[in-house]
Amino acid sequence: MASLVPSALQEVRGIVRADAPLRLLTHVRLGGAAEWLVEPIDELDVAAAVRACLDAEVPLRVLGGGSNLLVGDAGVPGVVLKLDRLRSIARDGVRLTVGAGVTVPSLLRTAREQGLAGLEVLTGVPAQLGGAVAMNAGTREGETFDRLVSLTVIEPSGEIRVLGRGDLEPRYRDGGLGARICVHATFELEEDDPKAIFGRFEEYLRYRNDTQPVTERSVGCVFQNPTGDSAGRLIERSGCKGWRRGGVSVSHKHANYFVHDGDGTTADFVALVHAVRERVREESGVELELEVKRWEVPELD
């Protein structure tokens, strides 16, 4: 699939790989390759990559932890940016400034060790910080934007900007970034006893392990919860638990999770989405909307 690397990309410091299998970089382990995978060294290189793609009219996407992403079996054209190298965590008083490539579990560990409370509401979210901000990831305990005070982003033009919390309008599972790329975020936390923080962390983790298939390959919740209801409850009530298409099935533990047994394809996932949606529509009249982000999966657009 790889064509010539856009010449302008050669100016970007970082690793550039052709035909990189995104299957290996997504939590659900499905999908084809990225034509180009680029891992910039710092935010200046992210900005340079954005400008290079703009100038060369090459499609550009940004990948976080790949935990809410379904990639088409044929892969994606153009450049995928992976921000793993942006992994600094800097403390100033009760504020932490965190690089987009820091994983949420490691951020929670650092905050806990430093006696800073507030982020443990994200316990069990297998994201990177940039993806958590982009999606305003959250749990029943709270969400990413609760503690966010500012954000450094790369605009679609390649300009680097610092935004205050008030510049954005986050919603349920959407940080409101649009096409901007988050490279750093600053959170204001509270001092607390690390043992107390750890206690809450363990409690939230226990609840999650009891109710969700956390050790299996999935995209997290497939569908959004309809207003006043739960997608998982509707799917379960429609009798879809355990339904299977190829290597993908509806989890027995939580019906809004589809799990991949390692032998499936995105086409299997898509077929299961259609089947479950149709059954829920027939049984309850509700049209389930997708929560999972899709790259080159036109059957679900």
Ligand X SMILES: Cc1cc2nc3c(=O)[nH]c(=O)nc-3n(C[C@H](O)[C@H](O)[C@H](O)COP(=O)(O)OP(=O)(O)OC[C@H]3O[C@@H](n4cnc5c(N)ncnc54)[C@H](O)[C@@H]3O)c2cc1C
Binding residues vs ligand X (CB under 6 A): 27, 61-69, 83, 100, 125-128, 130-132, 134-135, 137-139, 173, 177, 181-182, 214, 218-220, 293
DSSP 141-194: TEEGGGSEEEEEEE-TTS-EEEEEGGG---BTTB---TT-EEEEEEEE-EE--H
94 vs 244: CA distance, rounded Å: 48
Nearer to ligand X, 136 or 265 (CB): 136
Nearer to ligand X, 27 or 51 (CB): 27
DSSP state of 297: -
Nearer to ligand X, 208 or 279 (CB): 208
Helix (H) or strand (E) holding 206: helix 194-211
70 phi and psi, to 5 degrees?
A: -120, 120
Minimum CB–partner distance for residue 155 and ligand X (Å): 12
DSSP state of 209: H
Minimum CB–partner distance for residue 208 and ligand X (Å): 7
Which two three-digit tokens encode residue 107? 């951020």
Minimum CB–partner distance for residue 16 and ligand X (Å): 18
260 vs 122: CA distance, rounded Å: 24
Minimum CB–partner distance for residue 80 and ligand X (Å): 9
What is the residue whose two structure tokens read 């008030």? 166
Minimum CB–partner distance for residue 61 and ligand X (Å): 6
Burial class (CB in 10 A: 0-12, 13-18, 19+), 73: middle
Q: Which residue is nearest to ligand X (CB)?
A: 131
Minimum CB–partner distance for residue 267 and ligand X (Å): 20
176 vs 187: CA distance, rounded Å: 17
Nearer to ligand X, 206 or 278 (CB): 206
Task: Give ∠ CA 57-16-136 in degrees, rounded to 5.
Answer: 75
